[in-house]
Chain A
Amino acid sequence: MTDLTDLGVAAIRDGVRAGGFSARDVAEAFIARVSAAKPLNAFLVETPDHALAAADATDAARAAGDTPKPLAGVPIGMKDLFCTKGVPATAASLILDGFTPTYESTVSGKLFAAGAGMLGKLNMDQFAMGSSNETSAFGNVISPWKRNDGGNAALTPGGSSGGSAAAVSARLCPGATGTDTGGSIRQPAAFTGIAGIKPTYGRCSRWGVVAFASSLDQAGPMARDVRDCAIMLEAMTGFDPKDATSLDLPVPAWEAGLSADLRGKTIGIPREYRVEGMPPEIDALWQQGIAWMKDAGAEVIEVSLPHTRYALPAYYIIAPAEASSNLARYDGVRYGLRDLPEGANLQEMYAATRAAGFGDEVKRRIMIGTYVLSAGFYDAYFTQASKVRTLIARDFERAFEQCDYLLTPTAPSAAFALGEKQADPIAMYLNDVFTVPASLAGLPAMSVPGGLDAQGLPLGLQIIGRPLDEQGVLNAGLAIEQRAGFVARPEAWW
């Protein structure tokens, strides 16, 4: 019998439907694998009972002859940014110590209604602020991948959805939820050799998702391949009156619409993404991706996104500004940690609680945000960044007059070693150079594995599409996936 943990979302769904194996068998196989993978530190909380209950409901429904649900029998991992009723949620921060949501986030609720079970809550960068999963209050997630140099350096799985990426690539779950504010689905997907899509801003409800930067935050799936992402995205998406920016649009049948035929499509290659100091292997993969696009029938042209170099500095004003406002809610009064020094008054309690509860990177970003929003600086920083954001979105609009999708590398390097970039915040921020612009413009974008570098580490290619054209993004991703034939997987050492 095949190892059920080798199967992806579609294969599990189809196998359970056909009766090849039971949902309970699947859930038990993944639960065992999760509990044997502690050294990766991917899970903060394991919820085997949840996965088993969903599996038993699936098996009972099948025995009764009910119409199968879209994700029946599929156990998933849940980034710990999503509130799930009755299970502790921390956003990987001490400030949410003791917090157990009494409600269900819209996205997790939709996944469960579609039949999915939950294996547990996944580790991440604290409040999704980080690109290496080193800002979690509960320890680094360790990538299942190793360099092939004989060394044993522990590598980053990327971030902020690092637990999700590590869990999917180590086959601890067939799919997981992620969230993406400036690249937090796409960069970790690239670092771990899996696929991940951030849909158009507004497709997935933000209700019940711990907020980082509300004008940028978007949920999306991370899974082994494009089809699995399409299946999960269909279940996660949809209008939600509880989120003021939720798009009131029907959910397209993305899986049914998958096609790797790109004839008649034009792919734009943004010349400004050819950044200084880009490793030759990244450029080589990019050129390979261009060849794959042509092979799939697409025409390839060069386009210009002139304001690209200003995207990161604009992001590091807008995201911290929104974070400083969003995170004001952590006051030690309504939920989570309270630090009340002897004799402290209310103001001192706020300050002590926040000092004890937030990690260094979170404090850094709250303080940057507070600074750029403070009296006298607001126009120079926040208003200017919001204007630059308009220009960045306009660059994309103009490019999309000439082409259907953009093809770029996902990240400027392969996964780096844990600790390697921690001393320099700006070096860490630069990791998101290719993912942040699409976030600022709210565009759908996905990363698919393209190949391995000389050290045996995965590299990803990014496709960016027009607003609401997730189908096109998935299709271009599928065309790459079919040609890349990426089958590498990390050897189990944990």
Chain B
Amino acid sequence: MSVDIATVKKIASLARIAITEEDAARLAPELDNIMGWIEQLGEVDTADVAPMTAVIPNHLRLREDVVTDGNVRDLVLANAPQAEHGFFTVPKVIE
């Protein structure tokens, strides 16, 4: 499996990172090299092994179904690059 320029562009698009042609050309061999190194994992026989889901055995807790937080709209919006009328604002998404 090799990572070519088209693959890099596709990944960048999935990851929502704008890249230039030069970026893609530079990243392709770099990512290909890293993925090639990672390929060695395929050697390991994992036929009867379950994937790890929790590193330390711990039960998932339930809590009371009550409001413990809230009424902090202004704090939530305090760091927004742009907020108006108590909302986050984004470029128009409907024409």
Contacts and interface: CB of A to CB of B under 8 A. Distances in A.
Contact of A390 (B11, B12, B13, B50): B50
A336 B82 CA distance: 10
Contacts of A11: none
Given A334-B80, A354-B18, A364-B27, A386 B51 contact: yes
Contacts, number: 159
Contacts of A391: 44, 46, 49
A350 B63 CA distance: 35
Interface in A212-253: 215-216, 241, 244-245, 247-248
B42 interface: yes
A352 B18 contact: yes
B78 to A, nearest CB: 5
A335 interface: yes
With a 10 A CB-CB cut-off, give which of B43, B56, B88 has the most chain A CB atoms.
Answer: B56
Given A333-B81, A354-B17, A425-B34, A201 B44 contact: no
B11 A371 contact: yes
B8 A367 contact: yes
A268 interface: no
A301 interface: no
Contacts of A483: none
A32 interface: no
A47 interface: no
A332 B81 contact: yes
Contacts of A334: 76, 79-80, 88
A422 to B, nearest CB: 12
A441 to B, nearest CB: 7
Contact of A313 (B41, B53, B55, B92): B41
Interface stretch (A12-20, A61-69, A94-102, A169-177): A94-102
B52 A313 contact: no
Given A335-B79, A381-B38, A391-B46, A386 B52 contact: yes
Task: State the 6 A-B residue pairs at the shortest beta-carbon distance, nearest first.
Answer: A386-B51, A442-B55, A338-B81, A335-B79, A387-B46, A351-B18
8 contacts: A215-B55, A328-B16, A333-B88, A334-B76, A347-B16, A351-B17, A366-B17, A374-B14
